[in-house]
Structure 1
């Protein structure tokens, strides 16, 4: 009994400290995009809270304070800060979406002075986009020091920083400066972080971390992405030499802290942010760099970038790269859907993909949780880490478009669960609310009214016979996405006409209804799709109106590798058998 309890407690502790530390994020400048928009994308790759929440605009009384809550994305779920492992925030002060009954209320780490008015925005594990087209993406990075939260000393992690920025700012440069000031004044805890911040004109990469376990501050740096370029980050800092420039900002202590810790000296040349404050890649070599290589190779194949480097601090992959062709929303999401198809690392090929080309590779404890003791296997090794990963909870592409009013120009193309099996749905920055199915869900509950549950269910079921089922999924997905992209111009022209005729409220209502109706159709169809997959591939057969129990056997190459030919074809023993 004691052994069981010890095992249970250790397992619970490991689960509780699991961080969502494996995202990919991109930024596309206005001169690199097909339509002139500035685009930010993000895949949130850590199984947890998959809800997309609408936080409404609010007015606040003079002298009121804003609560700053702990973020489980930083260092894992900690019961002392309330909420739960499945509900990132439970609080009345963030609107109805977070006022969730039946869960322990979140406990503030501290408070900062509130402003008179805060803007409406879309929120998930990190802030996404506000009503003024300010857009944010994120990925977690490995820093040398990752402090714990502490009231009065270390209040902020990137999640809450991104939310404050969306509540108070309209421009990217303004948002970077505000988040920097908050780190400087109130301290920083948790992992290293990359936040991409964009508006209708420009995009910035902001990176941050702590540098003392029990200190009161943090350090940060930000670099502007050229308008004609594409940027990608994948769980490793990407900013290198810090220099004085209008296109770069940093905390005042970035040099002094590095000297104090003995990590850098001026005699060694410019301060290399990634080398000085970072701690390489997460988990294993190429966990981060392979994704950077793949994303840059997809947008600029003419560069013929090598997939191989000499070490984690390579400068082989530039900070930003000019794409061969201008990029669309579809191009960006294709990057997130990638499993290295067609390369030497193709995860749909080989014995590990099984007979039906499944690209999903479940991770062992050592690679899915950094700096934790304990192993699930004595076998040493690693699988390639793809851009598309089975434990992704959502992904999106934001567009900020200066030629349209904010309520229409700001657009989030959102896909629940992993990108390869997700369906992009449009949500305009000017909507009055988000569809209810997007705002509810609990990973420990099966909920047919939850958008995330529907997509996660289909994605998991598809792993039974991936090469067959993925075609059915894509057939439905492609139809919905084509319709959404096809209707986009007409919807936006109608909304724009209403606004020009001083009917802004009617325009917002129209956009809200369109987004809601489309999402509800997708949800209904996805559950129908799950039933269709169950019937069509029941018991490993192909079952259609043309006939039931049509045989679908394993491919010859797989049968040979798994020893099928050694099966019981005679009564004689095989050589070496006893």
Structure 2
């Protein structure tokens, strides 16, 4: 009995000390599949953690300089021995003022690589996002057969730092993929399996990677080009299937076939190497944790395909690698996918008893979700909730635009939404910006900060769960107004910046774009805190409070009352007999 209690205590401690797995959704749209000819990349970072969007300035480096490679929290949870904190992923003077916070121990490098003479400016979060040359990145975590631990001098790279080095050093998606592949092979890979979407104004690639031995060096990677007229989505499971040697639309590590044979994971006699099934280990956590999102995203992009929601197993081929959308997609279309809670389907999370009386789509996850592949359940119940595209623990989401017909400084654009997509406002930040607004670069999930954009959105989103079906309408009214204005002004802002650029005043164009984004972000921050106050007043104590009347009753719907036992309440002085 004592041993059992000790085991339960250990498992319990794991559940409260390990942060949620970063389990994301990411998409890419080819230039011929987008409404305006952009190559689009989207990403929702679905693990509560560091919500900052940081500007990394371009920088010159002295000959012989070394670049430190830091441990990534989102690989295998926070490890204090490598510096930083649970709230802040990087603390260093090495990468510009955004990470020179001094609020936690500085990061300790896992190793170093030779530095280049000049590195490019880029936007960074838990993964690199976009650089000044419109190279754009999205990400999702995948379950591989092996998840090695970091080892200095042996396995020093995870996808986070790989994406940052790529943005620092490359001008095209192909260059970025090749560079990251070389770094994996030379310096080793640790952590979970990963999918990185890599794009530029002309094309988009899906790059997938993993370790293959707990004590090994190097890693495995493969990349496949997304056809220009197609839409691609990944959601925490590898998506590349047959690896084709010599195909100009594929790249891969030199060891991809030999390792698979040596491990006994693949026999060439059985057909081409299927990367998803050979190196992958199915879905995280439970059936349809990944596949349901792939089904939903593809169904929203191309309803005409009439894709089935139910499949035969984790390695189904029901959902193609990439699909042609029914109509050309916009930034708004992509973010609508990320905002989805399966509304209108048999899986609609705004319906049913679990949604409560006010249609709350959020389903808090249990033990298994919080510890990724170190699972151990404390509940005797066997079951799962559906995992939506819009999830309560999303820390940020964005859509990147890369556009070939504009100078990089103007053509590259990140539409960034703090916190979960359904309640976020998409705000535009240009690749040529001289900096990012201060509120976007501030966030600490353990410190209440009215100067933090992430905190404002997270606060409102959490408060909305009290009376979701009512409050979400108020939130969307403000959200939609800001987004409508931003999309409407996009052409004017870019035309003015382009005129300055063509007249030779590139610095003035960059200042214009920077100032525009800064002013918009300031307006959003002020109004979002005002919205939080208005929601508090309007729905105080569960009532509806307006100028038309205080304490207007908002009672529960009859269907919900019936299911939760309202009819069994004290309606008489006689004790009610239990139903037979």
User: Structure 2: how far apart are the matches of 1:58 and 1:14?
Assistant: 41
After superposition, give the CA deviation of every residue in 1:462-520 in whole Å (9 maximum; x if it has no partner). 00000000000000000000000000000000000000000000010111000000001
Report the Cα distance in structure 2 between the residues aligned to 1:139 and 1:481, rounded to whole angstroms: 26
Per-residue deviation at 1:12? 5.2
- Counterpart Cα distance in 1 of 2:572 and 2:389: 47
What's the counterpart of residue 247 of structure 1? 249
CA separation in 1, counterparts of 2:365 and 2:302? 30
Within 5 A, what are the aligned runs for 1:35-434? 35-244=36-245, 245-434=247-436
Matched, 1:523 2:525: yes
User: Which residue of structure 2 aligns with residue 555 of structure 1?
Assistant: 557
Decide whether aligned partners of structure 1 residues 272 and 379 sit closer, same or farther in structure 2, where only a CA change above 3 A counts: same
CA contact (8 A) 2:21 2:372 kept: no
Q: Answer yes or no: is the 8 Å Cα contact 1:16–1:76 preserved in 2.
A: no
Structure 1: distance between partners of 2:477 and 2:443 = 26
Q: How far 1:13 moved relative to its partner?
A: 4.5
- Residue 498 (structure 1) aligns with: 500
1:21 deviates by 2.9
- Asked whether the 8 Å contact 1:339–1:387 carries over to 2, the reply is yes
Moved more, 70-79 or 359-368: 359-368
Task: Report the secondary structure of 2:94's partner residue.
Answer: helix
Unaligned runs of 5+ in 2: none
C-alpha spacing 1:332/1:493, structure 2 compared with 1 (3 Å) = same
Q: CA RMSD in A?
A: 1.5
TM-score, normalized by length of structure 1?
0.98
Q: Relative to 1, partners in 2 of residues 1:342 and 1:354: Cα closer, same or farther, differing over 3 Å?
A: same
Q: Give a deviation string over 1:253-276, Cα, whole Å, max 9, x none.
A: 000000010000111110000000
Aligned-partner Cα distance in 2 for 1:409–1:138: 21
Preserved contact between residue 339 and residue 386 of structure 1 (Cα < 8 Å): yes
The equivalent residue for 2:458 is: 456
Structure 1's unaligned 5+ residue stretches are none
Is the 2:442–2:452 Cα contact (8 Å) retained in structure 1? yes
Contact 2:11 2:376 in 1 (8 A): no
Separation (CA, whole Å) in 1 of partners of 2:105 and 2:217 = 28
Once residues 107 and 552 of structure 1 are traced to their aligned partners in structure 2, the CA distance between those partners, rounded to angstroms, is 54
Rate the CA distance shift 1:219–1:489 in 2: closer, same or farther, 3 A: same
Q: Secondary structure at the match of 1:412?
A: strand
Q: Contact between 2:20 and 2:48, CA under 8 Å: does it hold in 1?
A: no
TM-score by length of 2: 0.98
1:8-61 deviation per Cα after TM superposition (whole angstroms, max 9, x unaligned): 876554444435331000000000000000000000000010000000000000
State the 1:234 CA deviation: 0.1
Give the whole-Å Cα distance in 2 for the aligned partners of 1:565 and 1:302. Answer: 45
| 1:287–1:385 CA contact under 8 A, matched in 2 | yes
| Pick aligned residue for 2:541 from 534, 539, 544 | 539
Q: For 2:428 and 2:152, how far apart are their aligned partners in 1?
A: 39
SS where residue 223 of structure 2 aligns? Answer: strand
CA–CA distance in structure 2, aligned partners of residues 380 and 368 of structure 1: 16
Q: Take 1:500 and 1:15, find their aligned partners in 2: how far apart are those partners?
A: 56
Q: 1:249 to 1:373 in 2, by over 3 A?
A: closer
- The structural deviation recorded for 1:377 is 2.0
Could you say what secondary structure the match of 1:133 adopts?
coil
1:103–1:308 distance in 2 versus 1, CA, 3 Å: same
**Residues matched between the structures, number:** 576
Separation in structure 2 between the aligned mates of residue 97 and residue 425 of structure 1, nearest angstrom:
19
